[in-house]
Amino acid sequence: MKHILVVNGLEAPMLRQFGCECDRCASPERQANTSVSLLGLNGSDEAEYHVLVDVGIGVVDSLLQNPYLYGRRARLDWLLLTHWHPDHTLGINQLCVSYHLTRQRSGRDTAQVPVWCRAGTAAWLQRERGYEWQTFLQPHISEENEPPGRLLPPLDLGIAGLKVTPVTVSHFGADRSPDDAQQVQYSCAAFIVETAVAKTVLLWDIDSENEWLVSPQTEVERTAVAHLAHADRLFIDTAFWRAKKHRATHPSFDNVQRIVANLQPKETLLVHLSGHPDGAGNPGWGWTNAQWTAAAQEVWQQKQLPGSVRVPAIGEQFEL
Ligand SMILES: [Zn+2]
Ligand SMILES: [Zn+2]
């Protein structure tokens, strides 16, 4: 079986901003929130499994354009959620209800979609997406509140040749209980995806304070970093171009450079881009993907950072 990853989207929450005239909003390129699909293809290029990681706005449209999932080929074996924020979960209704109805119409079974997430994210989804949660999803919850910088047990997906290991990360905008905003509940995970030949790291959303990724202090953090390091490719949250003086809910490109210098991936792929959070008139504001790639590559060369860097394309395929 050939394992591949397809990029479904790489946008931060807002996508195009209503009323904005920047280059990014004016670009005709299709947009969708950050998400990837993991697919196993048999010798006839038919999907033997489909694991979807996050489902924000525009992601279902990307699935419709995926040649391996078109029409009767559509399948969904697992939904993995990094966290509950709307730009990672707003597509749950379109995804689950439409998939359920399509299968019902074609006389196939309408089994619920297994979903993996951390307990904090499950609590938010029960509240915010109760209808879909109760009707269309089959929860597999990681019942813990581990602090950032820990490997969780590999997921039992039942897929031969594919190992997915969650890692706890800090993303303080989402690390709170739905019942008490003051109560910290760690709700976010990154994923390490391994096959016999390649390692891919999906590292979003993270805040600017995940210092353990740069200099791990404990044995547990060092173990997590060792598993994240030397990946064939690292998809990483890069919400801001300019470095922030204060604690921010997402990393800047400056944070990304420090993380990459420690993790040493072969290829760095910038996702969760927007160009708007930097603010009008600042570098990064309204940049298209091509502008982000050019600016990032210049810094990479100047500072001799490891491997290569670029923004992937929506619909792009990577062999795993
Ligand atoms: Zn988030
Ligand atoms: Zn996000």
> What pLDDT digit, counting tens, does each position of 246-256 carry?
999 999 999 99
Domains identified in the chain, total number: 1
- Among the bound ligands, the one closest to the CA of 172: 1
Residues 6+ away with beta carbon under 8 Å from 269 = 233, 234, 235, 236, 309, 310, 311, 312
What is the structure's pLDDT at 150? 98
What is the structure's pLDDT at 289? 94
Q: How far is the centre of ligand 2, averaged over its atoms, from the C-alpha of 75 (Å)?
A: 25
| Spatial separation of the C-alpha atoms in residues 142 and 114, rounded to whole Å | 13
Domain that holds residue 147: 2-319
Q: How far is the centre of ligand 1, averaged over its atoms, from the C-alpha of 152 (Å)?
A: 20
Span of 36-40, 71-75, 143-147, 183-187 with lowest mean pLDDT: 71-75
The helix (H) or strand (E) run that includes residue 124 is helix 119-128
pTM of the model: 0.97
pLDDT tens readout for residues 85-126: 999 999 999 999 999 988 888 888 888 999 999 999 999 999
What is the structure's pLDDT at 281? 80
**Domain CATH for 66:** 3.60.15.10
Q: How far is the centre of ligand 2, averaged over its atoms, from the C-alpha of 276 (Å)?
A: 14
